[in-house]
């Protein structure tokens, strides 16, 4: 099941993608893809609907972030061994956690804004995990039962703000538009093994990232179990699980986004995003 949100920013409506790629409106059955709508029983009700009975949306509407009302946007840093090595950082003993402001979230094809004075804006394709059931003190064996689904994330980063402004990485991760989510929330039952997905990122048509979730240091189950010992995970919370090598910061010489550059990031079975970088006025 591929769920989505469409419409102008702040006015998105819930929908689903039918077997023919048609966009069907779900607003007659739920208010938004957020919170309680992601609980297992709610997802089961959506799955029981006949897509052909839902209104077909004509035209080419904007696709919004695939989850609304995100409470926590959590990110796991250096979760691919070869990415940690390209960044010149130690392999972590425990999942590295930082937060991305929810105000950074945008649609998968919205422009990415290069902040004023910034010249080191980078790309990071990541597997996103969307929580569907509250999780507190869960074991690895229990963890996957708390997942509503998966999505593509681009953890856009400004490296000087991340590494040189002191404090937490959050400073370089939370600028407006630095959190494209989607295009779809793919239900957990449609992703048999989240540790066997190919991730790619192209910049201006050049393939720069090409990895697999099989090389994660910490698996999705391990990440959820660990985070659930720190705080309760709630339906609609999003976890970005780390990026494979190929980011601009790790290149020699380093390479960063300029206005007009085009990013295309995708994950096998979860869809693709396309963002144009532009200066933030």
Q: Are 46 and 162 in contact (CB under 8 A)?
A: no
Residue of 19, 21, 72 whose CA lies nearest to 183? 21
Ordered by start, the domain boundaries in the chain are 65-279
Residue 97 CA from chain centroid, whole number: 15
Q: Read off the tokens for 277.
A: 């970088």
Q: Alpha carbon of 199 to those of 153, 214, 229: distances in Å?
A: 10, 10, 28
Element containing residue 161 per DSSP (H, E): helix 159-164
Q: Token pair of 232, please?
A: 């309760």
Q: Which CATH number fits domain 65-279: 3.40.50.450, 3.30.110.60, 3.40.50.1820, 3.90.850.10?
A: 3.90.850.10
Of 65, 45, 236, 49, residue with least CA distance to 146: 236
Phi, psi (deg, nearest 5) at residue 7: 120, 180
Which residues have C-beta within 8 Å of that of residue 257, sequence separation ≥ 6? 112, 114, 121, 122, 123, 203, 248, 263, 277
Q: Is-contact 41 30, C-beta < 8 A?
A: no
Instruction: Tell me how many degrees the CA angle 138-142-146 measures, rounded to the nearest 5.
Output: 85
Torsion of CA 105, 169, 134, 186, to 10 degrees: 50
Q: What would the two tokens of residue 23 be?
A: 């966009």
Backbone angles phi, psi at 173, to 5 degrees: -115, -10
Which one, of 168, 160, 150, 85, lies nearest residue 116 by Cα?
A: 160
**Contact between residue 280 and residue 176 where contact means Cβ atoms under 8 Å apart:** yes
Beta bridge partners of 150: 129, 186
- pLDDT (tens place) for every residue of the chain, 281 residues total: 999 999 999 999 999 999 999 999 999 999 999 999 999 999 999 999 999 999 999 999 999 999 999 999 999 999 998 777 777 778 889 999 999 999 999 999 999 999 999 999 999 999 999 999 999 999 999 999 999 999 999 999 999 888 777 777 889 899 999 999 999 999 999 999 999 999 999 999 999 999 999 999 999 999 999 999 999 999 999 999 999 999 999 999 999 999 999 999 999 999 999 999 999 98
């Amino acid at each position: 099941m591929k769920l989505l949100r469409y419409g102008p920013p702040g006015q998105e409506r819930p929908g689903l993608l039918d077997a023919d790629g048609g966009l069907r409106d779900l607003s007659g059955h739920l208010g938004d893809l957020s919170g309680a709508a992601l609980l297992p029983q709610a997802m089961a009700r959506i799955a029981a609907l006949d897509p052909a009975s839902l209104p077909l949306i004509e035209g080419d509407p904007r696709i919004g972030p695939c989850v609304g009302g995100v409470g926590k946007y959590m990110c796991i840093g250096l979760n691919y061994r070869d990415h940690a090595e390209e960044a010149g950082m130690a392999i972590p003993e425990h999942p590295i956690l930082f937060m991305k402001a929810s105000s950074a979230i945008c649609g998968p094809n919205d422009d990415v804004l290069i902040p004023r004075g910034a010249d080191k804006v980078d790309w990071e394709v990541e597997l996103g995990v969307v929580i569907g059931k509250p999780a507190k003190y869960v074991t690895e064996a229990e963890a996957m039962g708390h997942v509503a689904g998966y999505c593509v994330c681009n953890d856009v980063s400004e490296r000087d703000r991340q590494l040189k402004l002191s404090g937490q990485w959050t400073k370089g991760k939370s600028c407006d538009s630095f959190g494209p989510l989607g295009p779809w929330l793919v239900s957990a039952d449609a992703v048999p093994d989240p540790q066997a997905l190919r991730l790619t990122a192209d910049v201006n048509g050049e393939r720069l990232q090409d990895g697999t979730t099989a090389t994660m240091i910490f698996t999705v189950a391990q990440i959820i179990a660990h985070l659930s010992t720190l705080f309760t995970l709630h339906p609609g919370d999003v976890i970005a699980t780390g990026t494979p090598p190929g980011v601009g910061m790790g290149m020699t010489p380093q390479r960063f986004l300029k206005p007009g550059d085009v990013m295309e990031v995708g994950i096998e079975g979860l869809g693709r995003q396309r963002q144009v970088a532009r200066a933030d006025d």
